[in-house]
């Protein structure tokens, strides 16, 4: 059997990556639309990029209205800004939301209609060059063909895909993540861990995606607590940035599974940050999936030293669940209740959430196929 692996054309990573990308960024275009959020402007990350552009005589406009969960409305405005400014390439700088928004804006420059028209379809026409500069170690959007945009009319998070949405250039500079606050470090770090564990245990996993997934899992388990406790630990930040990138490459090529499928509806309806809703579902979804596939979960437990070689696959897989629970506890992941969600309101929406989860297609990548009833039961179990 043959496999296909895709990743960004160029990845520049490590200390001073932004400075080192001086030459290559010149090949991207003559005028950039920088897609970002107001916080990125305020803390000076956007000005690090504009300095780089100015030193290369590259023009730019800044569109800084993107939040952590970009919407169709933000994309429409971004497309207008790109056209009004006569830009010819895009730079997404920030968390996954800003990079996803840059991709969606790019898609709508070369494709007709509105971003909402592309739900469930493949985006075919190639966007302008996209440069991705992540400032959190989490989403892995710098390495994927996916973009997640909220459809504000139907209250759903759309998972949109197109092979050409993979950035032409990804710049991974750990110094940009130093200012990320603890809560953000926790939520995004767990998102990256979810990507890597789901990629390794997906039905669509392949030998190379496995290599990236296992490496990511080890880096994240070894460094997320350190990055959470000491935000200025540049080594831990660098390892987390690399782990998130590897996890992005892994799931771009083998896809995510039940956790992401169930997580998006919680985010769309209750405004829970993506990484947090993943974390809230993590252990319960693993317990479900392990019943149908023990070996791959056991492999992970062995790789991270969570079990002994003598343990059965079942015992090793159970120990992985405990390890995930302990990590979530150490980085203070809240429950739905602690986050402030109303239980009655949650239960009223469970049926819609289960349908939206299944419609996304992600749950069917799980090696144990969940039914709608299974998904409903997992949602309910979050309140046990």
Residues that bind Fe ion (CB under 5 A): 191
Identity of the residue, 36 or 255, whose beta carbon is nearer to Fe ion in the bound complex: 255
Q: Are 298 and 317 in contact (CB under 8 A)?
A: yes
CB of 358 to Fe ion, least distance (A): 18
Residue 170 host element (H or E):
strand 169-172
Q: How far is C-alpha 369 from the geometric centre of its chain's CA atoms? A: 23
Q: Are 78 and 94 in contact (CB under 8 A)?
A: no
Measure the CA–CA gap between 331 and 182, rounded to whole angstroms.
8
CB atoms near residue 314 (< 10 Å): 14
Give the SS3 label for residue 61: strand
CB of 295 to Fe ion, least distance (A): 24
CA–CA distances in Å: residue 276 to residues 16, 339, 365, 374: 30, 10, 21, 21
Identity of the residue, 62 or 104, whose beta carbon is nearer to Fe ion in the bound complex: 104
Query: Side-chain half-sphere of 139: how many Cα atoms within 13 Å?
Result: 27
**Closest residue to bound Fe ion by CB:** 191
CB of 278 to Fe ion, least distance (A): 6
Measure the CA–CA gap between 160 and 180, rounded to whole angstroms.
27
Residues 6+ apart with CB under 8 A from 167: 8, 92, 99, 103, 130, 131, 132, 142, 143
CB of 89 to Fe ion, least distance (A): 25
CB of 288 to Fe ion, least distance (A): 18
Measure the CA–CA gap between 324 and 322, rounded to whole angstroms.
5
Identity of the residue, 72 or 191, whose beta carbon is nearer to Fe ion in the bound complex: 191
Identity of the residue, 100 or 318, whose beta carbon is nearer to Fe ion in the bound complex: 100
CB of 267 to Fe ion, least distance (A): 10
CB of 191 to Fe ion, least distance (A): 4
Identity of the residue, 191 or 299, whose beta carbon is nearer to Fe ion in the bound complex: 191
Residue with tokens 């090696």, as numbered in its chain:
367
Identity of the residue, 33 or 276, whose beta carbon is nearer to Fe ion in the bound complex: 276
Identity of the residue, 89 or 200, whose beta carbon is nearer to Fe ion in the bound complex: 200
């Amino acid at each position: 059997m043959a496999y296909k692996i895709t990743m960004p054309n160029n990845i520049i990573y490590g200390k001073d990556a932004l400075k080192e990308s001086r030459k290559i960024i010149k090949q991207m275009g003559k005028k950039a639309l920088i897609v970002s959020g107001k916080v990125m402007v305020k803390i000076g990350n956007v000005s690090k990029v504009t300095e780089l552009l100015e030193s290369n005589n590259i023009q730019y406009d800044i569109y800084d209205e993107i939040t952590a969960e970009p919407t169709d409305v933000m994309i429409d405005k971004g497309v207008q800004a790109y056209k009004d400014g006569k830009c010819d390439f895009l730079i997404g700088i920030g968390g996954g939301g800003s990079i996803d928004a840059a991709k969606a804006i790019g898609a709508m420059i070369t494709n007709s209609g509105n971003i909402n028209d592309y739900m469930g379809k493949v985006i075919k026409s190639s966007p302008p060059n996209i440069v991705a500069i992540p400032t959190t170690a989490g989403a892995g959007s710098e390495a994927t063909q996916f973009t997640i945009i909220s459809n504000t009319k139907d209250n759903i998070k759309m998972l949109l895909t197109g092979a050409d949405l993979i950035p032409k250039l990804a710049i991974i500079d750990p110094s940009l993540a130093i200012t990320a606050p603890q809560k953000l470090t926790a939520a995004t770090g767990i998102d990256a861990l979810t990507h890597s564990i789901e990629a390794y245990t997906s039905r669509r996993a392949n030998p190379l995606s496995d290599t990236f997934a296992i490496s990511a899992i080890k880096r994240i388990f070894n460094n997320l607590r350190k990055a959470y406790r000491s935000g200025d630990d540049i080594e831990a930040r660098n390892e987390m940035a690399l782990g998130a990138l590897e996890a992005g490459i892994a799931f771009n090529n083998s896809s995510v599974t039940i956790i992401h499928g169930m997580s998006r509806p919680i985010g769309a309806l209750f405004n829970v940050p993506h990484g947090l809703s993943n974390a809230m579902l993590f252990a319960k979804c693993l317990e479900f999936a392990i019943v149908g596939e023990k070996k791959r979960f056991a492999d992970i437990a062995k790789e991270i030293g969570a079990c002994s070689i003598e343990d059965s696959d079942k015992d090793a897989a159970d120990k992985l669940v405990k390890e995930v629970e302990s990590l979530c506890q150490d980085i203070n992941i809240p429950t739905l209740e602690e986050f402030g969600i109303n239980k009655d309101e949650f239960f009223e929406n469970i049926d819609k959430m289960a349908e939206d989860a299944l419609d996304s297609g992600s749950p069917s990548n799980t090696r144990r196929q969940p039914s709608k009833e299974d998904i409903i039961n997992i949602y309910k179990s979050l309140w046990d």
